[in-house]
Structure 1
Amino acid sequence: MQSSHADVYHAYQVIKAHGIPDENIIVMHYDDLANNERNPTPGVIVNRKGGPDVYKGVPKDYTGIEVTPQNFLAILRGDEELAKAGKKVVKSGPNDRIFVYLDDHGSEGYVVFPHGNLKAHDLTDTLVAMHKENKYKELVFYLAACYAGSMFDKILPNNINAYAMSATLPDELGWFSDCSVDEPVQFAVAWLNDSEHHDLTKESIKTQYDYIAHAFTDQHAQQYGDLSIAAEHLSNYMGEKQVPSVGQYSQPANSVPIPDAPIYLAQLLLRNRELMDKQIEEYVNTLPGIEANVVLNSKLQINNKECYHKLVDTFHDKCYNLGQNSYAIQKMKVLGNICHSSDADVNTFNQLLINYCNTIVKPNTNII
């Protein structure tokens, strides 16, 4: 998502400006936006009209194929193999505070990376292990993604000194209810705006949460984990250096405007999405013992998480790369509905999905 790139770059600039040195900052980004042929300002990225270049000076600690959930978790753990390879990892101890900001696509129980998916339980297991190994005093995690709350809801313990703020409810899409739109993320707009215009040595995390929660009406930020941490000042995690205000951060119409976009691209996009809708429907109709109409048009409880995870992984590997086809993410609810029953025939459903995608979906197809 192009806007998530710009938001991450903006977050780096805010954290750096407030006094956190580069040696204490690790940045993961795919790095395909600044010099993209669709960028009207080559080599420069702005995420608001008339705003500064947020790309300038951003470290390239992990880029391209290195941007994986495995590396993300390894960085948090302070993985020795990565460190030996000369890569930056979190080197922390029992007296350190850690701030994590993750901005990408999301589905229920997942954050979608360009290469692979971060599962909620894998993230939680990593945070629990870090706490057990005294890797931090306190940890604050901001997550901007559709269904962001599902990464923490009823999963993140409240006794491991970790606090999480999610952009959305567990079952809620992000801004505009369409996570495929390259628009600025409301959550990022809110917390970055607030951090740029207030004294972080005086403002608490809870105050920022309240601001974010009331800034927009079409998505709903949430808090999870150890909520007592929210009473702390933001400066404990984002730096305490005073920064002059840079003007009101208004929500722009486009993250990177593209003038005179040819209409046929929009028509192609619509046709591709209609094709995916048809393919999903055809697959569902091949499943034995499934009420296709219910599965395609409802939102059911996922009672068989093993089934859901297996189908999502197969869809990602065999059908459409979720990191490159954001529209497909919205279709994961259908796979969740298939796994509504605790005794769902996961092996049969999975094999039928493999067979269908091998037969119908062209390799490396992108719907967007």
Structure 2
Amino acid sequence: MALRAALVAMLPAVVAAEKYAVIAAGSAGFMNYRHQADACHAYQIMLQSGVPADNIILMMQDDVANSSENPFPGQLFNKPGENPPDVYKGCKVDYSGDIVTGQLFMDVLTGNTEGAKGKVLKSGASDTVFVNFVDHGGPGIIAFPNGPVLTVKQLSKTLKTMQSKKMFKQMVFYMEACESGSMFPDLEKDGKILAVSASNADESSWGTYCGDAAMVKGKNVGSCLGDLFSVNWMQDDDAGKFKSETFRSQISKVTKLTNKSHVCSFGDKSFEDETIGSVETASSLSASPSDTAQGAVDARDVYLTQAMWAWQHATDKESKQKAWTRVTGIMKDREADEALFAGLAAAACADVNPERLVQCQHKFLHERMEMTHMDCHHELALAVHEHCPASEYHHSAGGWNGFNMKFARVLLNICEGQEALGKSTEQLVHLVQEHCTKASRDRAAEMQILV
């Protein structure tokens, strides 16, 4: 007996596997209501499915529920109806306000307590991790409310760091953003990370329950309630079929329901046939059926579409004028962004043979090249954030906003053409800085004239 006890004592302790979740919404402002509603809904699913509250980390600006524009102060709804669940009730936000950045997201995921001063991911080699990001995106970039953007280079490095630190047995990453299919270029087939994106690398994701469909308890919320991919997977989770449904089954189902963009999956698909309960367990949220594509709008056009809806439904002269000011302001912002990146393409082609000038500009503006110059793209994306003019009506923290992030494609193309241009990355960064600085001065002068 003594020998047996000694042998048992020598065996390594068996560590019980745990489940963890990190959820991030990367925008601010009431017109981005849907992102924070999505994030809180995801939080509720994780919490009510048995993931310990201490193992869930949620970061978002947290400025929507108590916004003066919210017709239901202190509440958020992720679906329409007469009695939908308030997903903000009990939604514990761990990081809010101006500290919510891409760097914080990376610090939390990698367990860096020097960078993140609050909760960080403490998972280990036997644990499962679920990550959910919801916000604006573009080719190779995703947004955060206080900037700068998080680039594909940074996300790839973060995931590799998590792998090297053996922070999971399996990790599932659901990403809701335009061009989100561009954010997982180098996931390995045996790396134990399965990523699912709302769209492919060349298209927008879609907001839903917008306009007339944003009705809750007889009132119109005045902003989209959710994002199409997100509400599809979460309403499927709400149904609670975790003991039988596999990831493969859910991805297939959500792909069909998300009929405005192409849902994509990347990385290690070896555990697609495991039940969702291996990462999450059953949820008790209301699971009444709902047509998730009601009022679906291209995410690039949500601001303009909602502003037009507000103008059309304004009931008095003052509200009508206020709404029209927003409409015209958003249209001017969009025109300025289009001109900015067209000018950037022209500046990059300035030294090209005049006979090839138009071809060069068209190539940078419209082609869809594959990213191979990740470092160059990263540097140019940060330069746009730092030096390009902020948008007045798109709640931007720096040069990027929900509309113009699609023009990250221009940066990608310029980087892929840098050898033909004969320009180094440093020269291209300087070109972006000069062009954006001039655009910022011009926009400031224009605003001064209007005042």
Partner Cα separation in structure 1 for residue 194 and residue 287 of structure 2 = 29
Q: Which amino acid aligns with 1:348?
A: Q
Structure 2 length as normaliser, TM-score? 0.73
Shift in Å, 1:99: 0.8
Question: Which stretch has the larger CA shift, 293-302 or 195-204?
Answer: 293-302
Q: Within 5 Å, which residues of 2 pair with 1:97-108?
A: 97-108=128-139
Q: Secondary structure at the match of 1:81?
A: coil
Measured against aligned partners, the alpha-carbon deviations of 1:139-180 in whole angstroms (never above 9, x if no partner) come to 111111111111113x11122211111111122221279xxx
Partner Cα separation in structure 2 for residue 140 and residue 193 of structure 1 = 18
Q: Secondary structure at the match of 1:127?
A: helix
Alpha-carbon distance change, 80 to 246 in structure 1, aligned in 2, over 3 angstroms = same
Question: Which stretch has the larger CA shift, 260-269 or 53-62?
Answer: 260-269
Alpha-carbon distance change, 126 to 264 in structure 1, aligned in 2, over 3 angstroms = closer
Q: Does 1:349 align with 2:418?
A: no
Q: Secondary structure at the match of 1:331?
A: helix
Partner of 2:27: none
Alpha-carbon distance change, 152 to 296 in structure 1, aligned in 2, over 3 angstroms = closer
Measured against aligned partners, the alpha-carbon deviations of 1:49-90 in whole angstroms (never above 9, x if no partner) come to 23221111211211122211211121122223257x4x1111
Question: Which stretch has the larger CA shift, 27-36 or 245-254?
Answer: 245-254
Aligned partner of 2:111 among 78, 91, 111: 78
Does the CA contact (< 8 Å) of 1:304 and 1:342 recur in 2? no
Partner Cα separation in structure 1 for residue 50 and residue 267 of structure 2 = 27
Q: Which amino acid aligns with 2:85?
A: P
Cα RMSD between the aligned structures? 2.7
Partner Cα separation in structure 1 for residue 95 and residue 235 of structure 2 = 26
Partner Cα separation in structure 2 for residue 95 and residue 352 of structure 1 = 48
Partner Cα separation in structure 2 for residue 76 and residue 204 of structure 1 = 25
Shift in Å, 1:268: 2.0
Q: Within 5 Å, which residues of 2 pair with 1:197-236?
A: 197-236=239-278
Does the CA contact (< 8 Å) of 2:137 and 2:402 recur in 1? no
Shift in Å, 1:190: 0.8
Partner of 2:204: 173
Aligned partner of 1:30 among 49, 56, 61: 61
Partner of 2:9: none
Partner Cα separation in structure 2 for residue 174 and residue 160 of structure 1 = 26
Q: Does 1:284 align with 2:345?
A: yes
Aligned partner of 1:146 among 170, 178, 201: 178
Q: Which amino acid aligns with 1:125?
A: K
Alpha-carbon distance change, 48 to 293 in structure 1, aligned in 2, over 3 angstroms = same
Aligned length: 358
Aligned partner of 1:243 among 263, 284, 287: 284
* Uncovered stretches (5+) of structure 1, i.e. residues with no partner: none
Shift in Å, 1:314: 0.7
Partner Cα separation in structure 1 for residue 104 and residue 90 of structure 2 = 22
Alpha-carbon distance change, 41 to 128 in structure 1, aligned in 2, over 3 angstroms = same
Question: Which stretch has the larger CA shift, 286-295 or 196-205?
Answer: 286-295
Q: Secondary structure at the match of 1:126?
A: helix
Q: Does 1:187 align with 2:266?
A: no
Partner Cα separation in structure 2 for residue 123 and residue 286 of structure 1 = 29
Q: Does 1:16 align with 2:11?
A: no
Aligned partner of 1:89 among 100, 112, 120: 120
Structure 1 length as normaliser, TM-score? 0.88
Q: Which amino acid aligns with 1:263?
A: W
Aligned partner of 2:153 among 102, 111, 121: 121
Does the CA contact (< 8 Å) of 1:164 and 1:224 recur in 2? yes
Partner Cα separation in structure 2 for residue 158 and residue 197 of structure 1 = 30
Q: Which amino acid aligns with 1:249?
A: S
Partner of 1:47: 78
Partner Cα separation in structure 2 for residue 363 and residue 111 of structure 1 = 27
Partner Cα separation in structure 1 for residue 372 and residue 166 of structure 2 = 34
Partner Cα separation in structure 2 for residue 103 and residue 363 of structure 1 = 33
Q: Secondary structure at the match of 1:26?
A: strand
Q: Which amino acid aligns with 1:276?
A: D
Shift in Å, 1:10: 0.9
Structure showing greater radius of gyration is 2
Shift in Å, 1:200: 1.0
Partner Cα separation in structure 1 for residue 376 and residue 224 of structure 2 = 31
Alpha-carbon distance change, 363 to 7 in structure 1, aligned in 2, over 3 angstroms = farther
Q: Within 5 Å, which residues of 2 pair with 1:125-140?
A: 125-140=157-172
Q: Within 5 Å, which residues of 2 pair with 1:49-68?
A: 49-50=80-81, 51-68=84-101
Q: Does 1:328 align with 2:407?
A: no
Q: Secondary structure at the match of 2:271?
A: helix
Partner Cα separation in structure 2 for residue 23 and residue 90 of structure 1 = 10
Q: Which amino acid aligns with 1:52?
A: P
Partner Cα separation in structure 2 for residue 45 and residue 326 of structure 1 = 21
